[in-house]
């Protein structure tokens, strides 16, 4: 029994030592850097940080999440509409500092826990329960905006039609 225990212990030590293998960095006379798991003359041992791994969800879990979102969208269909009051589609206006004040409304009014979310050129720029989202420093030019109603989980339950508007700002050239 004793020789088996010693053999098992030796096997475990060998197995664990290979898990914590060191990495060695060596720079040759020409400045070339090489890495190895075997020490060489002049090589220095370096600490290697553990590799970050990402575990992706299983496909069936993704499908379940998609089903949940569809259920939430159906539940959120109590909204007949959501739209911009200001700016109006194809409106152009002057704004020295690029300030744009979005005003939105829905029919019926927002439910408790829901918010309006405004996106500018596809990027979310603000959320509000009051129906007003103010943004500054919007670049001159034509932009696309869209308003969504999102629930307490951040899931979009209603999306309004996109609008396009143009901001005129003074420049050094004119």
Cis peptide before 108 (omega within 30 of 0): yes
Show pLDDT as tens, one digit a residue, over the chain (174 residues): 455 555 555 555 555 444 456 899 999 889 898 888 888 888 899 888 777 776 766 776 656 656 666 665 555 468 899 999 999 999 999 988 889 999 999 999 998 899 999 999 999 999 999 999 999 889 989 999 999 999 888 888 899 999 999 999 887 665
Chain segment 51-63, per-residue pLDDT in tens: 777 676 677 665 6
Residue 3 located in a structural domain: no
Looking at the structure, tell me whether residues 102 and 123 fall in a common domain: yes
Which range marks the domain in which residue 41 is found?
22-48
Q: Whole-angstrom Cα distance, residue 72 to residue 116? A: 16
Burial (CB count <10 Å: 0-12, 13-18, 19+), residue 145:
buried
- Per 3-state DSSP, what percentage of the chain is helix, strand, and coil (rounded to 5)? 20, 40, 40
In a domain, 4, yes or no: no
The residues that bridge with 158 in the sheet, in sequence order, are 149
Please tell me whether residues 35 and 86 are part of one structural domain. Answer: no
Let me know whether 38 and 124 are in one domain. no
126-140 residue pLDDT tens: 999 999 999 988 998
Give a yes or no: residue 15 inside a domain.
Answer: no
110 in the same domain as 27: no
Same domain, residue pair 70 and 91: yes
- Whether 143 and 69 map to the same domain: the answer is yes
Q: How many domains does the chain have?
A: 2
Q: Do 80 and 106 fall into the same domain?
A: yes
What was the pLDDT predicted at 165? 94
């Amino acid at each position: 029994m004793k020789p088996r225990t010693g053999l098992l212990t030796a096997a475990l030590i060998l197995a664990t030592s290979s898990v914590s293998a060191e990495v060695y960095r060596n720079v040759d006379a020409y400045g070339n850097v090489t890495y190895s798991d075997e020490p060489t003359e002049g090589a220095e041992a370096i600490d290697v940080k553990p590799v970050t791994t990402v575990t992706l969800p299983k496909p069936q879990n993704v499908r379940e999440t998609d089903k949940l979102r569809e259920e939430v969208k159906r539940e959120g269909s109590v909204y007949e509409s959501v739209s911009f009051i200001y700016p109006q589609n194809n409106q152009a206006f002057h704004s020295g500092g690029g300030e744009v004040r979005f005003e939105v409304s829905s029919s019926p009014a927002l439910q408790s826990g829901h918010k309006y979310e405004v996106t500018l050129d596809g990027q979310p720029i603000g959320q509000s329960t009051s129906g007003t989202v103010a943004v500054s420093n919007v670049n001159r030019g034509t932009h696309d905006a869209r308003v969504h109603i999102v629930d307490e989980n951040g899931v979009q339950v209603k999306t309004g039609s996109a609008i396009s508007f143009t901001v005129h700002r003074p420049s050094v050239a004119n």
